[in-house]
Amino acid sequence: MKHKTLRTKIVLAVALAVYIVATILSAVSMVFTRNVLKEDANEILGRLSENEVAEINGTIEKIEQSVNSLSAITIETIEDWGKFKKDSSYEQECTKKLEVPTLKLSTYTNGAINAYIRYNPEFAEPTSGIFMGKEGDGYVFYTPTDFSMYEPDDVAHVGWYYIPVQAGEPIWMDPYLNENINVYMISYVVPIFIDGESVGIVGMDIDFTEIENLVADAKVYETGFAYLVNADNNIMYHKDYETGTALSEVDAQAAEFLNNPDKEGSVEHIGKNAMIYTTLKNGMKYVMTVPYAELTNESHTLTIIIIAVVVISLILSTIYAAIISNSISKPLKQLTMIIKKTADFNFEKNPGSQKLMQLTDETGDMARAIHQMRKKMRIMVGDIEESCQLLNANFEKLQTSSDNINEMAESNSSLTQELAAGMQETNATTENMRENLTSVNDNASAIETLSTEGKDLSKEIMERAVRLEKSTEDSAEKTKQMYEKVRVDAQAALEKSKAVEKINTLTGAIAEISSQTGLLALNASIEAARAGEAGKGFAVVASEISNLSNQTAETVSNINTIVQEVNEAVTDIAKCLDTSMEFMGETVLTDYQEFSKVGEQYKEDATVIEESMNNVNEAIVNLATNIKKITGAVEDIGRTINESSIGINEIAEKTSEMGVKTSDNTEVVHSSKEKIVILKEIVDQFKLS
């Protein structure tokens, strides 16, 4: 593969970069320029259309102003509408007044061929009104058209009157050929109404060539032109087609474009042409069309110019790149030669390097950097040579020092081994001490456990004493309450037992009554016996009363016996209650008080035991703590001794290793001396003079 020089690469790179940038810029410029020029062309076409439409609409507005003014004058002239309808002489008077303004307005209106004021034939004569036509340079009044000759629906002849009246608003009539004067004209007619009634019409016929000339004179680029169509898209004026031709028959795309009201006022690309249309004030559509190639002709020219500029720029940039690349590659070649000498360890000074270092671009920076590098490498080689000599002297000193260290290491190794043996014996002694302390610590822990159990037992005794004291107090209180209740109940019972004595009194009274009843029965029997036969019934009653008295006496005797037994039982109960009360008061309550005192003493003893056990437990805890501290200290001592022993052993090992390493250092010294010789040979290869 052929080697390409840096100069060639720079030229190709610059040319390629310029080509790429120029291509991109030209493409963007062409697209942007075409769009801008297209927008400008559309804007220009739009302004052309606006200007032409404004001129045509101005002409149409002047015609409308003339007819509207004549319509206003007509209404103003007819002061009495009712009289105007009925009085023909008043109608003729008004018509005579209107002739002058009709003539003046027609004269001031460009293209006006005919002007007319026609009245409603329903109340006026068929030929009433004004009809004025142009003849030469002036105007002549003619007899108006006779309405009686035509029907109202005859649009061909009287449509100019009935169509505006029926529409109720001003109307521009489509252009038509007046065969009488062989003139193509267009009419503007305004219907007149007073109080909602039709008066008639006011109108003018305008020479259509007045508008045709404006359309035909429109300059649209080189070959573009304008034309007119009516609301139905029938051609009213076109340079290539006859008036009345349907646009859809000769240009369907244009007809479709004109049927879209959203497209009005905007430039559209229709076939090979660019088109724009605007609706005039008279309802016609003004259309401008121009070949699309003419619209974009400037963009093509500009595209060619841009391509030419790109080619010229590419050629100039290539020449400039060759010049620049030569100025860059020449110093680089010189630097390459210096770098090759450096690679061959040739550090001799180059006379041309001074010129290179005076350059102010990147090449100068590179030359100065290479100069500094070579300068530092010269110093470095000198330092290496000096270091070789110094290292040689130091290695000899290191050899002697290593021999001394080796001897000292052997002596230290023997001493550290003896010290390690003594530390191992000390470690064994501390191990025994630690085992004894562990045993003491275990015993102290057992005592601590027992003291804790005693403390818990004392707490349990205390709790029992408290429960006993509480139970004794509750029982004593309940006994007191029971004693008091029994005492009160016993007294109440004894009080109630006294009621038995009342029974004795009552039985005595009953016995006395029974005795009297017996005496009464006896007296009754005696009296019945005296009465004889008549007293037999009374004798029976007396006998029964005597029996009742005997039974009562017997019952009273039984009651007395029972009462005596009850009195004896009550007396026995009272004695038993007295004995029970005395036992509870003197024995039971006294015993409960003793129980309470014993419970209090039991509680005090438990408190003393708890305090003693707390003191013992606290002492045992302190003892265990101290033993743990001693054990920990002994363990630390043992650990320290063990670590010291290990350290001493390691020192002994390291000392031995140091001896070995010292021997290794000796070998390294010998090896380094060999390397110094090699470095010296390398230094001798550099050319420093």
User: Helix, strand or coil for residue 122?
Assistant: coil
Q: Does residue 468 register a pLDDT over 90?
A: no
2 pLDDT tier (thresholds 50, 70, 90): very low
pLDDT in tens, 386-444: 666 666 666 566 666 666 656 655 665 565 566 556 556 656 655 665 665 566 566 65
Q: Does residue 1 register a pLDDT over 50?
A: no
Query: From CA 258, how far away is CA 227, in angstroms rounded?
Result: 12
Name the CATH superfamily housing domain 434-683: Methyl-accepting chemotaxis protein (1.10.287.950)
pLDDT in tens, 607-643: 765 676 676 567 656 756 765 765 665 566 566 656 6
**Residue 686 DSSP class:** S
CB 168 within 8 A of CB 155: no
Domain ranges of the chain: 35-218, 434-683
Averaged pLDDT of the chain: 75
Residue 357: what pLDDT?
75
Whole-structure pTM value: 0.43
User: Helix, strand or coil for residue 531?
Assistant: helix
Name the CATH superfamily housing domain 35-218: PAS domain (3.30.450.20)
154 burial level (CB within 10 Å; 0-12, 13-18, 19+): exposed
1 bridge partner residues: none
- Rounded (10°) CA dihedral 157, 162, 163, 168: 160
282 bridge partner residues: none
Which of 351-360, 435-444, 516-525 is the least confident region? 435-444
Q: How many CB atoms lie within 10 A of CB 572?
A: 10
CB 356 within 8 A of CB 331: yes
User: Helix, strand or coil for residue 384?
Assistant: helix
Query: From CA 407, how far away is CA 410, in angstroms rounded?
Result: 5
Residues 6 or more apart whose Cβ sits within 8 Å of residue 378: 347, 686, 688
pLDDT in tens, 665-685: 566 556 666 666 676 666 666
Residues 6 or more apart whose Cβ sits within 8 Å of residue 112: 63, 66, 106, 134, 204, 205, 206, 207
pLDDT in tens, 42-89: 788 888 889 999 999 999 999 999 999 999 999 999 999 999 999 999
Q: Does residue 236 register a pLDDT over 60?
A: yes
Q: Does residue 687 register a pLDDT over 80?
A: no
H-helix or E-strand containing 206? strand 197-207
225 bridge partner residues: 289
Mean pLDDT of 236-241: 91
